[in-house]
Structure 1
Amino acid sequence: MPDHHTTTSGSTGLLARPDAAQAPPRFAATVPRQFVHRSAIAEVFLTGWRRRGDHRMQVDAQWPRSHSFHRPDATGRHDPLLAAETIRQTSLLISHAAYGVPFDRHFLLKHFDLDLVDGPPVVGATATEVELDVRCTDVRERGGVLWSMDLHVAITGDGVPLGTGRFGLSCVPPAVYRRLRGDHAHSAARVPLQPPVPGREVDRTADHDVVLTRGSEGTWTLRADESHPVLFDHPVDHVPGMVLLEAARQAAFARSGARLVGFRSTFAKFVELDAPCVVDATPVGPRTLLVRAEQHGEVRFRCEVDLR
């Protein structure tokens, strides 16, 4: 495949190969928002990428000192799900820019793991410059177009190793997606939005950021507020994977009072917006909780959350 480099602006330039003298400085501007499936430019954290070898890339990102949703915690550390969102964006950028996946493809998340060895870093005096070393494995194509792959990611922040991640995806053409989604693709039905649990119970300063409402027998019901400008950056026909990970983080804190430093998650089925989804959290180790999201009697999402 051709070697591609990012430019500072313009989606057409993203696949161009500029001369070394014309190459833009790193961390100078974000990549075009279309490459990471974001509507708001402010929600784009990636700033560039370069190829390092066969199925090997390096991606640059910048983490802001503060953010409307991914706020530092009470100890001044970055939000660990900011690392998760950065990996999610990386998977999309590489799929489109390095593997040439058309923009009409739909991406399905299969599994997602994150391990922040010492927890997220403390916010510094300036934005954190992040490098992601990415190795792609199990790369499969259909009709000459990427169909699925796993990404193995090593994260470094300001030159300090932060942790690792693994992300499994598949990308399907519109006709296949329509068959997978059936009537849900165009359903306008929604579960009525219920009041959130108090933010302090789930380590959130703003109740608007809470994705759980109180359920029965020690469980919660997923609260999918589509007006949220970050979790629902653009219209979707199902609950996004990042919303489910946020639910896992909040449920784990509500059960334990401890903060997430890693997780291992699987996405078995779509979680729909038109039916209640029950969330529970069960200890499975000294510092690990298993969070499950159940809908229509099926466990559709599982996440082992590691705590500190």
Structure 2
Amino acid sequence: MTTDVAPEISTAPAELSYGRTVDRSLVHRAAVSEVFVTDIRPLAEKRVRTAVQLPLTHGYYSDHAQRPAVYDPLLLLESGRQAAMAGSHAHIGLSRGTTMIVDTFRIQLGDLKGLLVGDEPGRLVIDTEYVGRPTRRGRYRKGTVVQRYTLDGTDIGEHEMDVLFLNQHENEVLRHAQRGTPAPLTSEFCDRVGESGFDGEPGAVGRGNPLNVVLSRPVTGAGTVTAEVTPRFDNRALFDHVYDHLPAMTLVEAARQLALLSTGEPAATYATGFEARFSRFAELDDVVTAEAPRIGPGEGRRALPVRFLQDGAEIASVTVTVTSGSAL
């Protein structure tokens, strides 16, 4: 994708503030408690710098069996999504009603030691560049978001995603074109609010609270491991508002949990990277199955491909990078 060279801002950006979070509408969140962005500053025409305060404790992002505790890569992924959305509204010119549909993304994090949770909330800085060209009418319909993460002054990783920018009408047209019928909403599925359907201890997928388990009916064979994706819709970290599909973050969490299950050592293995592609929406009214090769225990870093199937077709794939805790 081509892009024009963006002129630099003539003066250096002011120091980032960590005093309070931004308006929740900027990051498309219903709950203020789920907003992590605290400041946004322009660096150039298509570049922004964002401050994010990483919480020390969170019911979803801190619920992990691994010790010592590190910042959850999905928390960093969510922080990148929020930074991209906030910057696009505040400085790139996207309207508040725009939906960002992720096509592909890649996040790779460095040394586990750089992700260790300290005594105070982490101060994350995300530099975001928007790559793409507007239409003749000045609208951005698709593009690439490139981000660099710095935590407490140390570079910890990079994130890149290809996205579509759709208004509400365009999103509804796309959903109807794929389904042919109106999509149901998470609010209509009362049976998905309650006890977890996982057949085993949450620790088998690296979790402590059953609320955060998104898999059920796992089957471990000689060379593969499979499970159904069945998140609880009352998990407000994953379902902060009503959806008409399983969001990308839920599938990434499912991939992480299946990867940890595959290793057989969930308490001694960390997820440190994801590379994902989403080809269709994960519908709510049909079973979504995740499958991956069984890799067993191991040292160092390894990549585990996870496929998501619905109605016999692959709808998404997420490759999970897992790292042995011996690196700490």
Mapped to 2, the partners of 1:138 and 1:283 lie a distance apart of 39
Mapped to 1, the partners of 2:16 and 2:189 lie a distance apart of 46
Query: Normalising by structure 1, what TM-score?
Result: 0.87
- Aligned equivalent of 1:237: 244
**1:158 aligned residue (152, 163, 172):** 152
Contact 2:128–2:145 under 8 Å retained in 1: yes
Query: Normalising by structure 2, what TM-score?
Result: 0.82
Counterpart amino acid of residue 76 in structure 1: A
- Give the stretch that moved more between structures: 292-301 or 193-202: 193-202
Mapped to 1, the partners of 2:236 and 2:250 lie a distance apart of 12
Instruction: Quote how far apart the aligned CAs of 1:291 are.
Output: 0.8
Mapped to 1, the partners of 2:136 and 2:233 lie a distance apart of 34
Aligned to 1:259, the other structure's residue is in SS state strand
Mapped to 2, the partners of 1:140 and 1:108 lie a distance apart of 17
Mapped to 1, the partners of 2:308 and 2:31 lie a distance apart of 28
CA RMSD after TM alignment? 2.5
Contact 1:196–1:212 under 8 Å retained in 2: yes
1:109 aligns with 2:102: yes
Mapped to 2, the partners of 1:41 and 1:108 lie a distance apart of 22
The correspondence of residues 109-258 of structure 1 with structure 2, limited to 5 A, is 109-119=102-112, 121-141=115-135, 143-182=137-176, 183-186=181-184, 190=189, 193=192, 195-197=197-199, 198-216=201-219, 218-256=225-263, 257=265, 258=269
- Aligned equivalent of 2:316: 301
Instruction: Quote how far apart the aligned CAs of 1:25 are.
Output: 6.2
Instruction: Quote how far apart the aligned CAs of 1:138 are.
Output: 2.6
**1:76 aligned residue (69, 80, 85):** 69
Contact 1:283–1:290 under 8 Å retained in 2: no
- Give the stretch that moved more between structures: 159-168 or 133-142: 133-142
Counterpart amino acid of residue 314 in structure 2: V
CA-to-aligned-CA distance 1:211-238 (integer Å, 9 cap, x gap): 0001456310001321111110111111
Aligned to 1:34, the other structure's residue is in SS state helix
For the structure 1 residues 162 and 224, does the alpha-carbon distance in structure 2 shift closer, same or farther, using more than 3 Å as the test? same
**2:26 aligned residue (32, 35, 43):** 35
| Number of residue pairs the alignment of both structures matches | 291
Q: Which runs of 5+ in 1 are unaligned?
A: 5-19
- Give the stretch that moved more between structures: 262-271 or 179-188: 179-188
Mapped to 1, the partners of 2:77 and 2:50 lie a distance apart of 14
Contact 1:267–1:300 under 8 Å retained in 2: yes
Aligned to 2:292, the other structure's residue is in SS state strand
The correspondence of residues 62-73 of structure 1 with structure 2, limited to 5 A, is 62-71=53-62, 73=66
Contact 1:151–1:168 under 8 Å retained in 2: yes
Instruction: Quote how far apart the aligned CAs of 1:92 are.
Output: 1.1
Contact 1:33–1:39 under 8 Å retained in 2: yes
- Aligned equivalent of 2:326: none
- Percent of counterpart pairs with the same letter? 28
Instruction: Quote how far apart the aligned CAs of 1:186 are.
Output: 4.5
Contact 1:3–1:51 under 8 Å retained in 2: no
Counterpart amino acid of residue 206 in structure 1: N
- Aligned equivalent of 1:14: none
Instruction: Quote how far apart the aligned CAs of 1:3 are.
Output: 10
- Could you say which structure has the greater relative contact order, defined with CA pairs below 8 angstroms and 6 or more residues apart? 2
Mapped to 1, the partners of 2:40 and 2:274 lie a distance apart of 26
- Aligned equivalent of 1:277: 288
Contact 1:290–1:303 under 8 Å retained in 2: yes
- Aligned equivalent of 1:98: 91
Q: Which runs of 5+ in 2 are unaligned?
A: 1-5, 324-328
Contact 1:249–1:259 under 8 Å retained in 2: no
Contact 1:260–1:307 under 8 Å retained in 2: yes
CA-to-aligned-CA distance 1:194-215 (integer Å, 9 cap, x gap): 6124211100011110000014
Contact 2:21–2:37 under 8 Å retained in 1: yes
Aligned to 1:146, the other structure's residue is in SS state coil
Contact 1:251–1:281 under 8 Å retained in 2: yes
- Aligned equivalent of 1:13: none
Counterpart amino acid of residue 43 in structure 1: E
